[in-house]
């Protein structure tokens, strides 16, 4: 078992403890370290007690090294890069655009990044021998980006193509619908980009860290948990700014100066997105557990332990 997974096996048993760990791991200064430094830090992690002492190496390894392949995650798709890279895209995608083209443009950039992040941080324990992206996976990613881009711009498409003039309907399409769309499309993106885990399964481990085999049941559990966490991240990020605007737009300062609404929406989106990243990552354990009875019969036959472990991915 990779040192990163061994750490998650011993730490982060509760939501609060995982949240504290992720707040530390999301430090963007780790992005300044070179791949050589990261690999050196990862290789230096030996015994569990030494890992606890070598805090800097541990932080660098957990935030930058893929726990299945042992490779350094591409810079822009590392967890600490999520806020600085994705926040502007999230804000731009939630803007109330005046036409369809800018809505499609910003949705495209956001969905491309989401797909890349989901793919780079997936569980790849079943395809270690084939690290190149298959044609099937490439087509799947392309289709996912195309579908989520068009779906994300649906509110603006409806307003433009149907010639919606009602202020109430426009407000519903621009403020309420994006909340549900953001959560649903985030869930869908994880589900499709990581569908290979559903088809082939992922590696499961016993309590000693030894591999027991590949399980589709564990793959389904890992993908579902990751999809739910991403839906919570983007759904809440879309919901809170809209709620704040509805709450404050009737107050005297905002009635006097309607230009204050845009800064409120944009600022709150960035703040909520930044706060929700560690929360969403902490909703489920990084090293999840699955009951032996939920596994395939062939895996149940090779172990007598009550539950086994799997790497959830992000």
Work out the percent of the chain whose per-residue pLDDT is above 70: 95
**Which pLDDT value is given to residue 126?**
78
Helices and strands per DSSP (H, E), number in the chain: 16, 4
Whether 54 is in a domain gets the answer no
pLDDT at 149 over 80: yes
Q: 274 lies in which domain range?
A: 81-311
Whether 28 is in a domain gets the answer no
Strands 211-215 and 287-291: unpaired
265 CB contacts (<8 Å, ≥6 apart)?
Answer: 94, 241, 242, 244, 245
pTM: 0.92
Whether 206 is in a domain gets the answer yes
| Among 236, 225, 216, 222, residue whose Cα is nearest residue 277 | 236
**Which pLDDT value is given to residue 52?**
52
Whether 165 is in a domain gets the answer yes
The residue with tokens 């299945």 is: 68
Whether 8 is in a domain gets the answer no
**Which pLDDT value is given to residue 129?**
45
- Tally the domains of the chain: 1
Contact 305, 206 (CB under 8 A): yes
């Amino acid at each position: 078992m990779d040192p990163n997974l061994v750490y998650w096996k011993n730490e982060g048993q509760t939501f609060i403890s995982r949240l504290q760990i992720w707040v530390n791991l999301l430090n963007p200064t780790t992005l300044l370290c070179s791949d050589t430094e990261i690999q050196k830090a990862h290789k230096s992690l030996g015994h569990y007690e030494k890992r606890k002492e070598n805090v800097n190496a541990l932080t660098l390894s957990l935030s930058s090294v893929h726990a299945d392949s042992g490779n350094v995650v591409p810079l822009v798709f590392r967890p600490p890069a999520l806020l600085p890279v994705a926040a502007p895209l999230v804000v731009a995608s939630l803007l109330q655009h005046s036409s369809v083209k800018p809505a499609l443009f910003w949705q495209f950039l956001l969905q491309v990044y989401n797909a890349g992040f989901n793919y780079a941080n997936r569980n790849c324990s079943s395809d270690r021998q084939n690290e190149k992206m298959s044609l099937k996976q490439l087509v799947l990613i392309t289709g996912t980006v195309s579908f989520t881009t068009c779906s994300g711009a649906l509110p603006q498409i409806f307003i433009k193509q149907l010639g919606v003039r009602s202020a109430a309907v426009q407000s519903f399409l621009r403020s309420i619908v994006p909340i549900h769309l953001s959560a649903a499309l985030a869930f869908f993106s994880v589900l499709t980009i990581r569908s290979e885990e559903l088809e082939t399964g992922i590696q499961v481990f016993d309590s000693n860290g030894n591999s027991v085999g590949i399980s589709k049941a564990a793959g389904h559990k890992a993908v579902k948990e990751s999809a739910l966490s991403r839906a919570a991240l983007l759904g809440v990020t879309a919901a809170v700014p809209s709620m704040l605007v509805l709450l404050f737009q009737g107050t005297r300062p905002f009635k006097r100066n309607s230009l204050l609404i845009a800064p409120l929406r944009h600022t709150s989106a960035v703040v909520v997105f930044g706060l929700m990243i560690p929360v969403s990552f902490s909703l489920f354990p990084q090293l999840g557990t699955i009951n032996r009875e939920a596994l395939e019969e062939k895996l149940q036959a090779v172990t007598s332990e009550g539950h086994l472990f799997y790497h959830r991915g992000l």
